[in-house]
Amino acid sequence: MTERPLSGLDAVERGPLPSDPSAPAAPAPVEGQSDHPSVAALASRFGPAVQGHRLMAGDQTVVWIAPEKSLEILTWLKDDPAQQYDMMSDVTGVDYGSGRPIEVVYQMFSTVHKRALRLRCRLPLEALEIDSVAGLWHSANWLEREVYDLFGVTFKGHPDLRRILMPFDYAEGHPLRKDFPLRGRFSRAEQTRRALAQDVERFYGSQELAHGGPPQQVPARTEPEAEG
């Protein structure tokens, strides 16, 4: 009997493969000099809280910092006249699997000094908490909610920390974690049942619902009668 060729759906059926525990968790930070002016300034001011740096992708300077010092360091990077990273373009997360720490990644840019900087904070799985920077950059508000939703990282001091992509009562966990099954944690039947049982009142307040309803009908346009 000839075996049928494998398809992409077979991989989904089998589920995720285990991570290789011998693979490096992330590009390892290095010590020493850097051409980026913020690296030496960070090391001089914050000492051991700056855990190393690395040049990646040719021109992207990455600095690893202690998570317990993240808010202090990021505040200084925003406010110090020699730094002035006034733009937070991204806050995201990385999970390397196999019980390794999850990293919170901050991508910043100084429109004053015309330079970029990326910071990374390693969080152990048993302590997925870090201070929010939404009070420093408004752009971090929804970005932190996304990391909370998809990776399970709690941002302390966030003004409105709740899911932003998945339903508020989503009970299957955090979809971008490496231990998340490809088909979710519930059976397909249970997922369908929950989807059909959804009630819009869970997601919208009474004031928002009051403005709902079917769209208004626009009267058909009539052509003016031709003058005799």
Count the domains in the chain. Answer: 1
pLDDT for the residue 103: 97
36, part of any domain = yes
109/88 Cα distance (integer angstroms) = 7
**106-128 exposure pattern, b = at least 16 Cβ within 10 A, e = fewer:** bbbbbeeeebbbbbbbbbeeeeb
pLDDT in tens, 105-122: 999 999 999 999 999 999
> Which segments within the chain are labelled E, that is strand?
50-56, 60-65, 87-95, 102-110, 115-123, 129-131, 154-156
Distances (CA, A) of 138 to 89, 90, 144: 10, 11, 10
156, part of any domain = yes
pTM: predicted TM-score of the whole model, two decimal places: 0.77
94, part of any domain = yes
Provide the CATH number for the domain around residue 97: 3.30.460.80
200, part of any domain = no
66/154 Cα distance (integer angstroms) = 16
Q: Which of 124, 112, 107, 97 is nearest to 17 (CA)?
A: 97
Identify residue 125 by its one-letter amino acid code: L
pLDDT for the residue 152: 97
Burial class from Cβ neighbours inside 10 Å (0-12, 13-18, 19+) for residue 55 reads: middle
16, part of any domain = no
Angle between helices 70-79 and 37-46 (to 10 degrees): 130
157/135 Cα distance (integer angstroms) = 9
> With contact defined as beta carbons under 8 Å apart, do 144 and 121 qualify?
no
168/161 Cα distance (integer angstroms) = 11
57, part of any domain = yes
189, part of any domain = no
21, part of any domain = no
Mean pLDDT by 10 residues, the chain (228 residues): 57 56 59 83 96 90 97 98 98 95 98 97 97 98 98 97 90 93 88 82 67 55 59
**8-45 exposure pattern, b = at least 16 Cβ within 10 A, e = fewer:** eeeeeeeeeeebeeeeebbeebeeeebebebbebbbee
> Which structural domain, as residue segments, surrounds residue 116?
27-169
